[in-house]
Amino acid sequence: MVLRRISLRNFRNYAALDLSLSESCNFFVGDNAQGKSNLLEAVHVLGLTRSFRAGHDRELLRLGSERYELTGEFIDELSIRHLTSICYDTKQGKEASLDRKRMQSTSWVGKFPIVHFSPECHKITSGPPAERRRFVDVLLCQSSPAYLANLVEYTRVLRQRNALLAQPEGTSGNDFVVWSQALAHYGSRVMMARRTFVKEYEHTLLQSYQHISGSPLPFHFAYRTQFQSEEITTEGFLHLLQSARVHEERRKRTQVGPHYDDFVFEIDGKDLRKFGSRGEQKSALVALKLAETWYLKTHTGTAPIILLDDLASELDGKRLRSTLDYFHGSGQLLITSTSDISKGFLQPFESYRVLAGTLAPMMRN
Ligand SMILES: Nc1ncnc2c1ncn2[C@@H]1O[C@H](COP(=O)(O)OP(=O)(O)OP(=O)(O)O)[C@@H](O)[C@H]1O
Ligand SMILES: [Mg+2]
């Protein structure tokens, strides 16, 4: 998949921008706070219908404006053109359209796959479990419409069940049984998909890690859940809910389910989060993102658009150069940095200077 053209109106610090992109590689160079990450965020919103950092679309509105508009022209592997548009208006809310037809905003997730890699991603290997769940969920939602549907339902049911648990009548009504059954149904499907994903992903991750780090040490990626593998069924889930009933009544929250899952990275049997050196963590992260690129391509049948935001601030010169080389050829690249890192880059590329929400072409090779 290639993003050929993008336009922004009143998005973050961009009043108006219309840009044609190279299908190979695009560098965006600028000082801090000029709009580099904002531009990648716009691409993320167009591809996945949501930002990687904003909690609400209101934050994406250029300060003082009441409506933002994003449009993107994507070209798929069969050279077919797709037009996506996302608008948000303070009065009318959010509107998404694909090829000029109004859609539910999640309906095209996975059609325009995106890999996003920024210094913030270190939280995936070093942060709390929620960071790893988010990483796995974003990847699986892009790869499988069924996973997206099950996760959306699970989240909705969990919220309802927690609301019931917080009420004085709590677990005694019929409603509670119905919500528990729904929770078990969707929750077990989410967990089955996560278990399958980990098995498939681990092999590529190991290969990528050994290649990047030059280390022969074994790299493991394991799924940690409250459930034994054979309990990951609707019945097994209901059984665990039954056992946790007193605990749930006391805590007034659902105590069992994939919202407690974690994923563990181990190098040579040691938990990367607790024992990994900075170098090992960085290599693991690059390997993780490379494996993500491979996984998306395998499961969606299309090469993702790869957003590499400010990696020069995290990776030293040698590691940065090899990271760019690894990603080259995996998909269209959009790369930001505060200094020009395109020197010596042999592939065709375009580069732009970013200044206060405007772009000026720098060079073309
Ligand atoms: N809704 C908004 N309206 C107007 N300006 C905004 C909005 N949201 C963020 N900005 C501003 O946009 C500017 C650019 O932000 P951005 O995150 O893109 O910077 P950057 O070029 O990536 O910088 P850095 O190199 O520090 O990461 C910042 O000054 C920020 O305060
Ligand atoms: Mg930035």
Span 83-137, pLDDT tens digits:
999 999 999 999 999 999 999 878 899 999 999 999 999 999 999 999 999 999 9
Which of 69, 84, 61 shows the shortest CA–CA distance to 3? Answer: 84
How is residue 60 written in tokens?
């994406």
DSSP string, 242-307: HHTHHHHHHHTS--SSGGG-EEEEEETTEEHHHH--HHHHHHHHHHHHHHHHHHHHHHHSSPPEEE
Average pLDDT over residues 252-280: 94
CA of 336 to the centre of ligand 2 (A): 8
Around ligand 1, the residues with Cβ closer than 6 Å are 12-13, 30, 32-38, 59, 61-63, 310, 338
Q: Given the structure tokens 């270190």, which residue do they identify?
A: 122
Whole-angstrom Cα distance, residue 197 to residue 108? 21
pTM of the model: 0.95
Whole-angstrom Cα distance, residue 114 to residue 110? 8
- Which of 37, 62, 310 to probe ligand 1 with, by most ligand atoms within 8 A of CB? 37
Position with higher pLDDT, 124 vs 341: 124
Mean predicted lDDT score pLDDT of the chain = 94
pLDDT at residue 317, as a whole number: 83
CA of 309 to the centre of ligand 2 (A): 7
Whole-angstrom Cα distance, residue 145 to residue 126? 29
State yes or no: pLDDT of 170 exceeds 80.
Answer: no
Span 279-312, pLDDT tens digits:
899 999 999 999 999 999 999 999 999 999 999 9
| Angle between helices 129-143 and 174-213 in degrees, nearest 10 | 90
Span 17-69, pLDDT tens digits:
999 999 999 999 999 999 999 999 999 999 999 999 988 999 999 999 999 99
Percent share of the chain, pLDDT over 70:
99
Q: Which atom of ligand 1 is nearest to the CA of 41?
A: 18
Are the C-beta atoms of residues 355 and 14 closer than 8 Å to each other?
A: no
Distances (CA, A) of 191 to 85, 166, 260: 33, 25, 11
* CA 184 centroid distance within chain: 25
pLDDT grade for 151, boundaries at 50, 70 and 90? very high
pLDDT at residue 106, as a whole number: 81
**Domain 1-113+302-365 is found in CATH 3.40.50.300:** yes
- Which of 12, 39, 118 to probe ligand 1 with, by most ligand atoms within 8 A of CB? 12
Whole-angstrom Cα distance, residue 305 to residue 221? 25
Are the C-beta atoms of residues 21 and 350 closer than 8 Å to each other?
A: yes
Position with higher pLDDT, 348 vs 120: 120
pLDDT at residue 193, as a whole number: 98
**Beta carbons within 8 Å of 66's beta carbon, 6+ residues apart:** 89, 90, 91
pLDDT at residue 359, as a whole number: 97
pLDDT at residue 364, as a whole number: 57
Average pLDDT over residues 214-241: 95
Beta-bridge partner residues of 68: 88
CA of 67 to the centre of ligand 1 (A): 18
Strands 93-98 and 81-89 come out as antiparallel
Distances (CA, A) of 209 to 215, 240, 242, 267, 298: 8, 36, 41, 10, 19
Q: What single-letter amino acid sits at 353?
A: R
Helix (H, G, I), strand (E, B) or coil at 328: coil
- Which of 34, 67, 116, 121 to probe ligand 1 with, by most ligand atoms within 8 A of CB? 34
Distances (CA, A) of 138 to 202, 270, 276: 17, 26, 25
Task: Give all strands of the β-sheet with 101-103 in edge-to-edge order.
Answer: 14-20, 2-11, 67-75, 81-89, 93-98, 101-103
Using only C-alpha atoms, what is the Rg of the chain?
Answer: 22
**Beta carbons within 8 Å of 88's beta carbon, 6+ residues apart:** 57, 58, 60, 61, 67, 68, 94, 95
Q: Is the dihedral of CA 4, 87, 40, 265 positive or negative?
A: negative
Span 316-333, pLDDT tens digits:
888 888 889 889 889 999
pLDDT grade for 363, boundaries at 50, 70 and 90? low
Average pLDDT over residues 229-255: 96
pLDDT at residue 365, as a whole number: 54
Strands 25-29 and 333-337 come out as parallel
